[in-house]
Amino acid sequence: MKIGVFKFSSCDGCQLAFFDIAPEIINSEYIEISYFLEATSFNIYDRFDVAFVEGSISTREEEERIKDIRDRSKIVVAIGACAVSGGIQSARNFGNFEEIYSFTYRENYFKDINPLSKPISDFVSVDYTVRGCPVNAEEIIEIITSLLLNKTPHINESPVCIECKRKSIPCLLVMGSPCLGPITVDGCGALCPSLNRGCYGCFGPIKGANFESLRDLFKERGFNFEELIKTGFNAYNPYFRGVIWR
Amino acid sequence: MEIKLNPLTRVEGEGRVIVSIKDGKVNDVFLNIFEPPRFFEGILVGKNYDVAPDITARICGICPIAYQMSSVQAFESAFGIDIPKEIEDLRRLFYYGEWIQSHTLHIFFLHLPDFFNLPSIFEVNKINPEIVKIAFNLKRFSSKLIEIIGGRVSHPVTAAVGGFYKTPEENNLKEILKDINLVLEDTVKAIDYVSRLNFPDYSIENVLFVSLKDGDNYPILKGDIYSSDGLTIKKEEFLEYFNEYEVPHSTAKFSVKKDGKHYIVGPIARFNNTFDKLLPLVRETAKKYSITPPIYNPYRSILIRLIEILDCLYRSKSLIENYRRIDKATVDFEVKAGVGVGVSEAPRGILWHRYVISETGRILEANIIPPTSQNQYIMESDVKRKLLEVKEDEIRERVLEAEKSIRNYDPCISCATHFLKVDKLYLNNR
């Protein structure tokens, strides 16, 4: 299986998962890493069985490049909140781009930077998504092994709340902290609630979540729902669009 | 004529070397960073102070703890919070985990293949599986250490202004003591092995070494800013003595001392400035393998990183042995308007944060200076030395050497790019 690992606008944190799983794949006869700039100087940009894509699309050059990778790959897997939702840099999508730009740079060099940072699914079809900021390396292994075994990968689609119940973690919302657990997909094992802080949504919204209900609850408790989501790393996720940002 | 060489490999982020050719020879060289900027300073404006540690962590997936530590300390400084020793010790331990993790990644996965002229660790594994096993052991150990304190390795979640959301249980932390002797031995084995490799003869010239000084500690969490020409300043004075500047042939911003002297940050600078602050046992090991200051050969930075890992491991061991959990993980404080500066030694060098905060705790201004942008000058000048005057048909072959000289500095381009200038010309021509 020829694998390519690609980076777009991102912090590099999700492709590090491949270093985490290196002991598992380093001696595998079934896997050939044919393109992975951060790991190797020997890269063949040709055809790929699986392309793992980290990062959001935030320049015109990236728009072209993701389409080219799609054309060359049988399977495209979006890894991490940037590729899946647009990432923390999509926080700029909710402000005035020129203003945000001018806080960082004095001069207007970047004419090719898009005002919006978008998920790759806005440009190409995506076969699987591995969520999180960063991803859970176990889910990458699940994708790879499933594809090798020709079975459907099992990627969790239940909310953080379920994991809190399983682990008997007292509900932070009940205890008085803002928590996005009810609308956020679990993949972290309810990490933040287990460490005494509310979920800040780094795995992103779950399909079909009852956003309205949580918004009402936040309002009742005096928490700012929209601000917490906009601070998060999945604010521009397609599930949020049209529901939260009308 | 301009030739854009292939993207740099085995570095964090996206960059490449561009050479300009005249009369069949290279007449100019520059380091072109094409990583798209993500506008962190802009995003932070208007946000509440307490989200800054988590947002800035996302500047870098390899050194998020460095961002969290510089950031929380900036706000603590603005609010006038004193951090108790127990919390500072835990922060150091947390940060040692990141140094071990980040250095391990660079030493074995990114840098080591260069010494064998191999493309990656996968090929190194075929000729020397033992050294790769050491890499995996160190990676596993540091991952465990970071996870126990921070919940997860990349973008951990426990760091907070005033302390931690939650401090680890004593049992959990002490359990990893059983593995520490193994990785200590492994590190010494790696030093022994790496010190016998061939190091190209090369020396950096006319640069100052800039790093933090923090009493008797080898610098990591905080400190005054020290430059090897004898200057010592407070963190708040950084911009009075250091300056960003632009050059006509390059789009990247450089950092320079205001008196015009160039400098580098990171392991070489720390080692040369504060060798005497390494633990005595570590200094002895270093001397045994002739790793002593001053080191001007950047290829030997791989050895310095190993020595720093050894120091981190010994210090971690004693911090874990003495660890007593405190129930109150954060100190009480009041939010107030002000300016806060935080600085720490990221694995790659000085990471400086400055925030202006409103009376309700909103961020009005943010400025972040990461290590890699401060090392731009030296990386580009080393590449120039390797490639200037090279004949056109020899470029492809010689560029491999030039790439190695960039890797010596372990650049983190994602970090640097949030404020580097990228020329629009190159963005379209990947």
pLDDT of res. B251: 47
Contact B367, B413 (CB under 8 A): no
Q: Token pair for residue A58?
A: 């935030």
Contact B423 A109 (CB under 8 A): yes
Residue A59 shares a structural domain with residue A15: yes
pLDDT-derived band of residue B353, with 50, 70 and 90 as boundaries? Answer: very high
Chain A residues within an 8 Å CB radius of B48? 227, 231
Q: In this structure, which long-range contacts are made by residues B287-292, counting pairs with CB atoms below 8 Å and at least 24 apart in sequence?
A: B289/B191, B289/B192, B289/B195, B290/B195, B291/B191, B291/B195
Look at residue A155 and tell me if it is in a domain: no
The backbone region for A142, taken as left when phi is positive above 0, alpha when psi lies in -120 to 50, beta otherwise, is alpha
pLDDT-derived band of residue A5, with 50, 70 and 90 as boundaries? Answer: very high
Contact A92 B43 (CB under 8 A): yes
Give the gap in angstroms from C-alpha B368 to the nearest C-alpha of chain A.
Answer: 10
What is the C-alpha separation between B66 and B56, in angstroms, rounded?
Answer: 10
Digit-coded pLDDT (tens) for B118-168: 999 999 999 999 999 999 999 999 999 999 999 999 999 999 999 999 999
**What's B87's domain CATH number?**
1.10.645.10
Would you give the end-to-end CA distance of chain B in angstroms?
17
Which residues on neighbouring strands pair with residue A2, listed in sequence order?
A32
Q: Token pair for residue B355?
A: 């925030």
Contact A11 B61 (CB under 8 A): yes
* Residue-wise DSSP of B236-251: GGHHHHEEEE--TT--
Cβ neighbourhood burial of B362 (10 Å; 0-12, 13-18, 19+): middle
Contact B53, B40 (CB under 8 A): no
* Average pLDDT score over residue span B372-391: 90
Residue A102 shares a structural domain with residue A186: no
Q: Token pair for residue B366?
A: 């943010």
Closest by alpha carbon to B107, among B145, B65, B136? Answer: B136
Q: Are strands B2-7 and A128-130 parallel, antiparallel or unpaired?
A: unpaired
pLDDT of res. B201: 94
Look at residue A238 and tell me if it is in a domain: no
- Residue B51: how many other CB atoms lie within 10 Å: 17
Contact B40, B30 (CB under 8 A): no
Q: Token pair for residue A53?
A: 């894509």
What is the C-alpha separation between A3 and A6, in angstroms, rounded?
Answer: 10
Residue A62 shares a structural domain with residue A8: yes
pLDDT of res. A100: 84
Give the gap in angstroms from C-alpha A126 to the nearest C-alpha of chain B.
Answer: 22
Q: In terms of CA atoms, which chain B residue is nearest residue A134?
A: B154
Q: How far is CA B341 from the centre of its chain?
A: 19
> Alpha-carbon torsion B291, B297, B120, B345, what sign?
positive
pLDDT at B426 exceeding the cut of 50: no
Q: Token pair for residue A122?
A: 């806005």
Cβ neighbourhood burial of B193 (10 Å; 0-12, 13-18, 19+): middle
pLDDT of res. A112: 79
Q: In terms of CA atoms, which chain A residue is nearest residue B120?
A: A40
Closest by alpha carbon to B380, among B352, B409, B400, B351? Answer: B409
Residue A137 shares a structural domain with residue A172: no
Q: What mean pLDDT is reported for chain B?
A: 91
pLDDT of res. A169: 97
Give the gap in angstroms from C-alpha B367 to the nearest C-alpha of chain A.
Answer: 8
Chain A residues within an 8 Å CB radius of B64? 11, 13
Residue A42 shares a structural domain with residue A132: yes
How many domains is chain B built from?
1
Residue A132 shares a structural domain with residue A164: no
Give the gap in angstroms from C-alpha B288 to the nearest C-alpha of chain A.
Answer: 32
How many domains is chain A built from?
2
pLDDT-derived band of residue B5, with 50, 70 and 90 as boundaries? Answer: confident
The reply to whether B418 touches chain A by the CB within 8 Å rule is: yes
pLDDT of res. B68: 98
Q: Token pair for residue B197?
A: 């490799």
Q: Token pair for residue B372?
A: 């890699």
pLDDT of res. B17: 86
What is the C-alpha separation between B320 and B89, in angstroms, rounded?
Answer: 10
- Compare CB distances from B105 to A19, A95, A103 and report the shortest one's residue: A19
- Compare CB distances from B59 to A11, A42, A43 and report the shortest one's residue: A11
**What's A132's domain CATH number?**
3.40.50.700
Domain extent at residue A29: 2-149
pLDDT of res. B249: 42
Look at residue A97 and tell me if it is in a domain: yes
pLDDT at A11 exceeding the cut of 60: yes
pLDDT-derived band of residue B110, with 50, 70 and 90 as boundaries? Answer: very high
pLDDT of res. B284: 98
Closest by alpha carbon to A59, among A7, A122, A110, A108? Answer: A110
pLDDT at A222 exceeding the cut of 70: yes
pLDDT of res. A98: 85
pLDDT at B77 exceeding the cut of 90: yes
Look at residue A246 and tell me if it is in a domain: no
H-assigned helices in chain A: 16-20, 22-25, 60-72, 80-85, 97-104, 137-149, 160-166, 172-175, 191-194, 211-221, 225-231
pLDDT of res. B224: 98
What is the C-alpha separation between B140 and B148, in angstroms, rounded?
Answer: 12
Q: In terms of CA atoms, which chain B residue is nearest residue A190?
A: B151
Q: Are strands A32-36 and A2-7 parallel, antiparallel or unpaired?
A: parallel
pLDDT at B250 exceeding the cut of 80: no
Contact B174, B320 (CB under 8 A): yes
* Interfacial A residues in 54-83 facing B (CB < 8 Å): 58-62, 65
What is the C-alpha separation between A195 and B173, in angstroms, rounded?
Answer: 15
* Interfacial B residues in 172-211 facing A (CB < 8 Å): none
Contact B55, A232 (CB under 8 A): no
Digit-coded pLDDT (tens) for B17-76: 888 888 999 998 888 777 788 889 889 999 999 999 999 999 999 999 999 999 999 999
Contact A191 B151 (CB under 8 A): yes
* Interfacial B residues in 23-62 facing A (CB < 8 Å): 34-43, 45-48, 51, 54-55, 58-62
Domain extent at residue B361: 2-427
* Average pLDDT score over residue span B266-276: 98
Chain B residues within an 8 Å CB radius of A112? 424, 427-428
pTM above 0.90? yes
pLDDT of res. A106: 67
Which residue, of A149, A170, A203, is where some domain finishes? A149
Digit-coded pLDDT (tens) for A90-115: 999 988 888 888 777 666 666 678 99
pLDDT-derived band of residue A246, with 50, 70 and 90 as boundaries? Answer: low
pLDDT of res. A107: 64
The reply to whether B387 touches chain A by the CB within 8 Å rule is: no
Chain B residues within an 8 Å CB radius of A15? 61
Look at residue A165 and tell me if it is in a domain: yes
Contact A40, B120 (CB under 8 A): yes
Chain B residues within an 8 Å CB radius of A8? 36
Stronger pLDDT, B42 or A85, i.e. the higher one? A85
Closest by alpha carbon to B47, among B358, B424, B399? Answer: B358
Stronger pLDDT, B221 or B249, i.e. the higher one? B221
Residue A64 shares a structural domain with residue A167: no
Alpha-carbon distances of B186 from B198, B210, B369, rounded to whole Å? 21, 30, 34
pLDDT at B238 exceeding the cut of 70: yes
pLDDT of res. B429: 30
Which residue, of A120, A149, A178, is where some domain finishes? A149
Q: Which residues contact B178 (CB under 8 A, 6 or more apart)?
A: none
Digit-coded pLDDT (tens) for A118-169: 999 999 999 999 999 999 999 999 999 999 999 999 998 899 999 999 999 9
Residue B234 one-letter amino acid: K
Q: How far is CA B204 from the centre of its chain?
A: 19
Q: What mean pLDDT is reported for chain A?
A: 93
Chain A residues within an 8 Å CB radius of B8? 37
Q: Following CA atoms A141, A142, A145, A146 in sequence, which dihedral angle do they give, to the nearest 10 degrees?
A: -160
* Average pLDDT score over residue span B222-242: 97
Residue A75 shares a structural domain with residue A184: no
* Residue-wise DSSP of A30-93: S-EEEEETTTBS----S-EEEEEEESBEEEHHHHHHHHHHHHHEEEEEEEHHHHHH--GGGGGG
Look at residue A237 and tell me if it is in a domain: no
Structure-token match 């492809």, residue found? B396
pLDDT of res. A38: 92
Contact B343, B352 (CB under 8 A): yes
Which residue, of A149, A181, A213, is where some domain finishes? A149
Contact B58 A14 (CB under 8 A): no
What is the C-alpha separation between B254 and B416, in angstroms, rounded?
Answer: 10
Closest by alpha carbon to A129, among A182, A88, A76, A179? Answer: A76
What is the C-alpha separation between B138 and B182, in angstroms, rounded?
Answer: 9
Residue A143 shares a structural domain with residue A195: no
Contact B7, B27 (CB under 8 A): no
pLDDT-derived band of residue B253, with 50, 70 and 90 as boundaries? Answer: low
Contact A11 B60 (CB under 8 A): yes
The backbone region for A168, taken as left when phi is positive above 0, alpha when psi lies in -120 to 50, beta otherwise, is left
Q: Strand, helix or coil at B232? A: strand
Chain A residues within an 8 Å CB radius of B9? 37-38, 40-41, 43
What is the C-alpha separation between B37 and A57, in angstroms, rounded?
Answer: 12
